[in-house]
Amino acid sequence: MPRRADVLAAQSTGLVQFNGAGAQWLIQTPGGVVYLVYVDTGSDVAFKKSTNYGLTWSNPTVVFAGTTTAVAVWYDRWSDIAAGLIHIAYQESATDDTLYRTVNTESSDALSTQTVIFAGTSTATGGCLAITRARGGNVYCATMIDAGAEGGFYRLPNANVPSGAWDAARTTVFEAITGDMVLLFPGFAADNQDIICIFWDASANEISRKVYDDSGNSWAETSIATSMADQVATTAFPHFDGFVDIGRSNIVIVAWNGVDTASADLRCWTVDESAITEMTNVVANGTDDQGLCAITTKPSTEEWYCFYGGKSDGSETFLTSINIYYKVSLDRGTTWGPETQLTNSARDTTWLIGTPRWENQFTVAFHNDIALDELMVSAPILQPRANFVLGL
């Protein structure tokens, strides 16, 4: 792999980039362009893009100007939809709403009209936010704008994408009121408007699979794992992640069963509507000072790359000075390769995301919690090549 550089991609505001538990990823288009959606220093939602996998970045484009408290994204092609919309949901604390807008990566980054997903009355820490698109085209959003019962689960029918009206609240995905976290993914059932939620119940320390039946407007829940000790998103986030394995019609999930805790495991599963299969732990019996995770795939070879914070020998200090490391699986989670350091120096890293699907190069972004609140990217330094012909 080419040498990598830790690049300053953008600057954020305080801990807003992650403390609203927004489900975020970097987007990589089929042409290799990488998009970073983030909360800028003015608390606005903005995006930048890179044509060299994160080594340099464009000027920002503002999606929403306001007081953002959380942001979540989804990309059409992660749902096996041959289109280029980036779906962005964001919460703001001026009118206390959850809002929605798209970026069309295949039409000069055109922005859709902003629409309202949920109109609330108060915003506080302790909420969460996730958005996805079903294979049939409906868009779904789970939003909680504070630590109380203010939010819900909403649907934008395919016919209304991207600028039409959202339906009234559907049956909620939430169970508790404080600290719950969600990831939303398209489902694989015959009804291509169904979706799957990976739900982290903070009060029960349990991760479960919730399958949403769109036609019945109902959820069916199955436990994935108990004894999953969460850490609140206002401290660091995320400690679980997943990607859609389109070729095998399932979702690959990783999650820490303890954060900054001795003997913690970074566990791994494949999930669909009918089966939950645990794979080999990415990290087994870690020696404290580890957390955060992002899992990605190179679809053409089915390689899995799992990134996480903190060295497994305990020599680094979580939330003070850690590097990002990764392991690779060449057999879909049956075995994992050696721990490899990704970043160039240890930092106070409190947020980590990757490109769920990529081909030529992966890109990883992380939050450097210093006075400037840097959003850093680990980017490849591509080596120059010379073409010449040897002669006599």
Average pLDDT over residues 329-349: 97
Residue 110 has a CB neighbour count (10 Å cut-off) of 12
Asked if residues 318 and 344 have their Cβ atoms less than 8 Å apart, the reply is no
| Per-residue pLDDT tens over the stretch 127-151 | 899 999 999 999 999 999 976 668 9
- DSSP label at 18? H
What's this model's pTM, rounded to 2 decimal places?
0.95
pLDDT band at 113 (very low <50, low <70, confident <90, very high): very high
Residue with tokens 């694989």: 188
Q: In DSSP terms, which residues pair with 276 in a beta bridge?
A: 271
CA dihedral 316, 322, 326, 327 (to 10 degrees): 20
Q: How many residues does the chain have?
A: 392
Dihedral pair phi/psi, residue 30, rounded to 5°: -60, -25
- Say if residue 392's pLDDT is above 60: no
Interatomic CA distance for residues 216 and 283, integer angstroms:
39
| Per-residue pLDDT tens over the stretch 219-268 | 999 999 999 998 989 899 999 999 999 999 999 999 999 999 999 999 99
152: left (phi over 0), alpha (psi -120 to 50) or beta: left
C-alpha distances in Å from residue 22, one per residue of 88, 142, 190, 210 = 10, 10, 29, 18
Classify residue 383 as exposed, middle or buried by CB count within 10 Å of its CB (0-12, 13-18, 19+).
exposed
The one-letter code for the residue type at 324 is I
Asked if residues 279 and 295 have their Cβ atoms less than 8 Å apart, the reply is no
Domains plus CATH for the chain? 4-380 (2.120.10.10)
Residue with tokens 């990589």: 28
Cα 89-352-119 angle, rounded to 5 deg? 20
pLDDT band at 203 (very low <50, low <70, confident <90, very high): confident
C-alpha distances in Å from residue 139, one per residue of 116, 157, 236, 357 = 13, 7, 27, 20
Dihedral pair phi/psi, residue 160, rounded to 5°: -100, 0
Structure tokens at 158: 């395919």
Asked if residues 16 and 69 have their Cβ atoms less than 8 Å apart, the reply is yes
Helix (H) or strand (E) segment spanning residue 307: strand 303-309
Average pLDDT over residues 163-168: 97
